Structure 1
Amino acid sequence: MKSITCSVLVVGSGNAGFCAALSAAQSHAGEVILIDKCPEEWAGGNSYFTAGAFRIAHNGLSDLQPIVTNVDAETANVIDLDPYTQDDFLNDMNRITHGRYDRGLGQKLVAESNEAVKWLGGLGLGFQLSFNRQAYKVDGRFKFFGGLALKTENGGKGLIQFHQRAAKEYSVKVLYSTAARQINVDPNTGAFESLLAEKDNEPLLIRAKAVVLAAGGFESNPRLRAQYLGPGWDLAHVRGTPYNTGEVLEMAIRDISARQAGQWSGCHSVAWDANSPANSGDREISNEFTKSGYPLGVTINIRGERFFDEGSDLRNYTYAKFGRAILGQPQGLAFQVWDQKGIPWLRSEEYRDEIVEKVWGDSIEELAEKCTAKGLENPARFVETFKAYNEAAYKHRLEKSDLKWDPAIRDGLSTQSSKQQLKIAKSNWALPIDKGPFLAILVTSGVTFTFGGLAIDPNTASVISNLTGKVIPGVFCAGEMVGGLFYENYPGGSGLTSGSVFGRKAGLNAAKLATEGGRFERSSRL
């Protein structure tokens, strides 16, 4: 059996894994090796498929402007970007997870979010203000909404390209097509000793002083989705990499009795193009299969009925949970519908003609008839739903004539008045849908990442043993493999931030352990 030796080993080539590797390399840990079972052309895990959004605590535009590349002085004068404090971030964590998030993890995530992003910026990662996704231009001013303003240049693709460049700069050795198979610990101390992997169909033993587990969740494994998330989840479309199939989670639980944490029945899932590939994302189209324009219109299932409140909150706080709502509908399908008032506000990268199939109708009746070819089972009910919705929206507008439609705030335009109330409200942005031609898009559920994972020490990112309740020496964890942060939902953009905060922390502490434990000889070249 071939074997190699390094100081710090990282498993997983997403944002969290690369952050851990770069942090360890920066700390002069000795040789750092990063492995991933995917081939190089699939590098980046789910991070590649994101829009590159980072949620951080900040002091407003003046705090962010020095690290972004797309704001000149003239543009800055027409931007409304309020501070998003640590208290704001924690309050959103508490509200969105219904108070279930792990307080220690949440506090570290929030307190170190700003520093982690600026650390990445210092390494050369380009950031921008996300005008296209996180702001609306209202009355000539860019209004950022929902506590989220930053993205990486060229989204997730740009993020992973940066990480690959930085890894070379810091001499991190990256081995693709290298799958982790078994974690070995010292039988006397319980400390990490080595990892058995398989590279190019041959066993490979990698000895190291420390390992960082950052191999993602189980969202690409239909069996585990059905087992943990529940019936029907094996039919959900995979939004990102097909390689996040949960083996490293199972391995950590099996081999080192890692403690499980978080909501194993929960996941991040979004409204996703029904015509997208079922079992993996498309690396060219990537995040553009997302269909997040639902607050601007209504969503109706194939029986012709609305089934959730499209305006219950700003999009950043709802998009990650509405995929579950769609999957729970007949056939796991629904139609998003808009009129000419909403259509101009749809983001082109998600709704341009080249990537989405559009159904048009000059009237709601015609739209309903055309949607039957796409799976609508009850066109009459579809029309009745719109009539009831419009009547309720009209009556609310008459009663609250002082309110102004504004997509960047919770504007209060609702379907619920003293004259009429719908069984399922639309609580904000409830304009009547009455100006044709009308547009419908067929959507399903796209699963992004799972919420169940491993318990870690918030201060060190060390994995905790289920047997002893103590940290397992030399074993760290970051990214989607960490459990306890998110329940049912998550504040948009906090996933990449979590990967950066705890990836950086894991790499730093792995490096400390490696350097304190002595120096290793450099590995043989493969």
Structure 2
Amino acid sequence: MSQPMPTSPKYDCIVIGSGHAGSCAALSAIDHGCTRVLLLDKCPEIWAGGNGFFTAGAHRTVHAGLADLLPLVENVPPAIASRIDVEPYTAEQFTNDIMRLSGGRSDARLVRTVVEESRDAIEWLRQTVGVPFTLSFNRQAYKVDGRHKFWGGMALSTRDGGKGLIATHRAALKRVGVETWFEAPATELIVQDGAIVGVVVERGGKQERVYAAAIVLAAGGYESSAALRNLHLGEGWENARVRGTPYNTGDGIFMAKAVGARLAGDWTGCHATCWDAHTQAETGDRELSNQFTKSGYPLGIMANNRGLRFVDEGADFRNFTYAAYGKAILRQPGGFAFQIFDSRAEGWLRKEEYRDGVVMKIRANSVDELAQKLVPHGLEDVDAFIRTVAEYNRATRMFAATCPERKWDPTVKDGVATHGLSLPKSNWALPLEESSLFAVKVTCGITFTFGGLRIDPDTASVLGDSGRPIPGLYCAGEIVGGLWYENYPGGSGLTAGAVFGRIAGREAGRRARQRR
């Protein structure tokens, strides 16, 4: 929409979206010379933070091992440090993890930027924003032989998870004077001479045109819209549970498309995980938030309502399978499944996710009893369920008999597998002790969608249909397309949001200085 532009824009930078990426962009813009920054969000203030609020706060980053991470974290007394094992995580490993999970389809330039800038982004978050990082003992480590052993290439989280992360951002934004409008949806980008010069905002029942030297889109994907999920992800996705904010309905993507932005990425893909089946459908819970995740399946098995296993629960560390296995659950009859454990596994499960009061556990003293108890919860084939558990137990014992040298260890891919099953369990396969079984009913919780906008990774500029940057328009966060395909390594989303948020803010500052 072409409109006359004031001689002097009111703001140097406008950021649309109050989540992690948007907050990083606004704070980075201040760092790089913007003096007047406005942050907009259509949600009420109580919903500030977008999906970042609902995360565990995990950040995947390149690092050189424990000694490199200790200066970043606040929860490791010297007496404990000597009992912690954290292997280095190299740029090559980080890159390979993204590329192997995407089948090599991820945009290599985007990946390179995220990986190479990850460590600096963490340092900036700690020093400039004030984010309190911790080692994620509860989520990424098991205590084995008296030592805390981290696994899966990730170790960093934030104090109080996503809640703490967003609270820190909110305090930092206030401290540096970023102006924030809530319940103020941006509905249209204003174009002047081919450049983006402002946005149309609905505020107080009226439309208002607000001008700025640079606009940063950080309004998330479209996962909160059942209609758009059905359209782009396919039939059945309208039944997925929304894990986070109900306000991510694709607004930023479609505003950008209306001014010629190029779409990119996996429009049939998303991040989805095993989610408590007893949750509400259309929004996350701001109190329990990430605790509804049910990520313990590598320590047990999963069966659908026909009583059949449908994934290799031990194919890889949870970090590398959970974003895909939520989709696998949705594809099962009825869109749900049962996770099955015994008392031996129960002690290794995350208390935040599996403690009494957070999850309903269906307990039994035999497989037959458990099968009967699952019928009111949706199990349709009792005999098949009993057969599945019996065959799994037999296959684990056969493997143990043929490979006695293999030792169960949840901190490594231990190769303790099944023998003779058409669908194997490749690691951590122990028989389920029939005297102490329990089941948890899970469904698919959608986190964010993978399709979005094409950007220049060096500047976070949104690219137009011509392949050239649209002047004045930048983006960061889940709205970026081309980074993730089909699956993704846990903890990468917040890191990517910080990396491209910092870049977008830097470029906004550069453009604001030029226009002055």
Mean Cα displacement is larger for which, 201-210 or 451-460? 201-210
From 322, 332, 337, the equivalent of 1:334 is 337
What code does the residue aligned with 2:51 have? Answer: N
* DSSP 3-state at the match of 1:184: strand
Counterpart in 2 of 1:162? 168
* DSSP 3-state at the match of 2:344: coil
- String of CA shifts for 1:288-331, please: whole Å, max 9, x gaps: 00000000000000110000000000110001110000000001
* Counterpart Cα distance in 2 of 1:411 and 1:399: 15
Counterpart in 2 of 1:140? 146
Q: Structure 2 matches for 1:30-109, cutoff 5 A?
A: 30-109=35-114
1:429 is displaced (CA, Å) by: 0.4
Counterpart in 2 of 1:471? 469
* Counterpart Cα distance in 2 of 1:338 and 1:120: 39
Counterpart in 1 of 2:137? 131
Counterpart in 2 of 1:411? 414
* Counterpart Cα distance in 2 of 1:409 and 1:435: 26
What code does the residue aligned with 2:176 have? Answer: Y
Paired residues of 1:340 and 1:435 also in contact (CA < 8 A): no
Paired residues of 2:367 and 2:434 also in contact (CA < 8 A): no
Counterpart in 2 of 1:428? 427
Q: Structure 2 matches for 1:263-342, cutoff 5 A?
A: 263-342=266-345
What code does the residue aligned with 2:19 have? Answer: G
* Counterpart Cα distance in 2 of 1:230 and 1:396: 39
Q: Does 1:217 align with 2:221?
A: yes
Counterpart in 2 of 1:26? 31
What code does the residue aligned with 1:138 have? Answer: V
Q: Does 1:207 align with 2:211?
A: yes
* Counterpart Cα distance in 2 of 1:296 and 1:370: 21
* Counterpart Cα distance in 1 of 2:463 and 2:63: 31
Q: Structure 2 matches for 1:488-499, cutoff 5 A?
A: 488-499=486-497
- String of CA shifts for 1:164-188, please: whole Å, max 9, x gaps: 00001110011110101101111x3
Unaligned 5+ segments in structure 1 are 519-526
* Counterpart Cα distance in 2 of 1:424 and 1:253: 43
1:514 is displaced (CA, Å) by: 0.6
Identity, in percent, stands at: 52
- String of CA shifts for 1:348-374, please: whole Å, max 9, x gaps: 100111111110001111011001011
Q: Structure 2 matches for 1:112-127, cutoff 5 A?
A: 112-123=117-128, 124-127=130-133
Unaligned 5+ segments in structure 2 are none
Counterpart in 2 of 1:370? 373
1:516 is displaced (CA, Å) by: 1.1
Counterpart in 2 of 1:521? none
What code does the residue aligned with 1:41 have? Answer: I
What code does the residue aligned with 2:234 have? Answer: G
* Counterpart Cα distance in 2 of 1:365 and 1:296: 21
* Counterpart Cα distance in 1 of 2:463 and 2:33: 26
Counterpart in 2 of 1:233? 237
Mean Cα displacement is larger for which, 352-361 or 296-305? 352-361
* Counterpart Cα distance in 1 of 2:48 and 2:474: 21
1:200 is displaced (CA, Å) by: 2.5
Paired residues of 1:26 and 1:170 also in contact (CA < 8 A): no
Mean Cα displacement is larger for which, 292-301 or 89-98? 89-98
Counterpart in 2 of 1:523? none
* Counterpart Cα distance in 2 of 1:64 and 1:436: 43
Counterpart in 2 of 1:243? 247
1:143 is displaced (CA, Å) by: 0.8
1:436 is displaced (CA, Å) by: 2.3
1:435 is displaced (CA, Å) by: 4.3
Q: Does 1:172 align with 2:178?
A: yes
Paired residues of 1:33 and 1:175 also in contact (CA < 8 A): yes
TM-score, normalised with respect to structure 1: 0.96
* DSSP 3-state at the match of 1:336: strand
- String of CA shifts for 1:254-274, please: whole Å, max 9, x gaps: 1x1111111000000000000
Mean Cα displacement is larger for which, 431-440 or 101-110? 431-440
From 380, 383, 386, the equivalent of 1:383 is 386
What code does the residue aligned with 2:215 have? Answer: V
Paired residues of 1:341 and 1:435 also in contact (CA < 8 A): no
Counterpart in 2 of 1:509? 507
* Counterpart Cα distance in 1 of 2:28 and 2:236: 40
4+ residue segments displaced more than 2 Å: none
Mean Cα displacement is larger for which, 71-80 or 234-243? 71-80
1:139 is displaced (CA, Å) by: 1.0
- String of CA shifts for 1:62-120, please: whole Å, max 9, x gaps: 11100100111111111110110111101111111111110100000000000001001
* DSSP 3-state at the match of 1:54: coil
1:201 is displaced (CA, Å) by: 2.0
Paired residues of 2:114 and 2:499 also in contact (CA < 8 A): yes
* DSSP 3-state at the match of 1:220: coil
Mean Cα displacement is larger for which, 136-145 or 126-135? 136-145
Considering only aligned residues, what root-mean-square deviation do their CA atoms show, in Å?
1.1
- The number of aligned residues is 509
TM-score, normalised with respect to structure 2: 0.98
* Counterpart Cα distance in 2 of 1:78 and 1:201: 59
* Counterpart Cα distance in 2 of 1:384 and 1:202: 63
Paired residues of 1:270 and 1:445 also in contact (CA < 8 A): yes
* Counterpart Cα distance in 2 of 1:407 and 1:317: 14
Counterpart in 2 of 1:193? 197
What code does the residue aligned with 2:178 have? Answer: V
* Counterpart Cα distance in 2 of 1:379 and 1:478: 48
1:194 is displaced (CA, Å) by: 1.3
What code does the residue aligned with 1:229 have? Answer: L
Paired residues of 2:39 and 2:178 also in contact (CA < 8 A): yes
* Counterpart Cα distance in 2 of 1:185 and 1:209: 12
* Counterpart Cα distance in 1 of 2:198 and 2:317: 46
* DSSP 3-state at the match of 1:345: coil
Counterpart in 2 of 1:437? 436
From 480, 484, 487, the equivalent of 2:485 is 487
* Counterpart Cα distance in 1 of 2:334 and 2:81: 47
What code does the residue aligned with 1:52 have? Answer: G
Counterpart in 1 of 2:265? 262
- String of CA shifts for 1:471-500, please: whole Å, max 9, x gaps: 011100000000011111001000000000
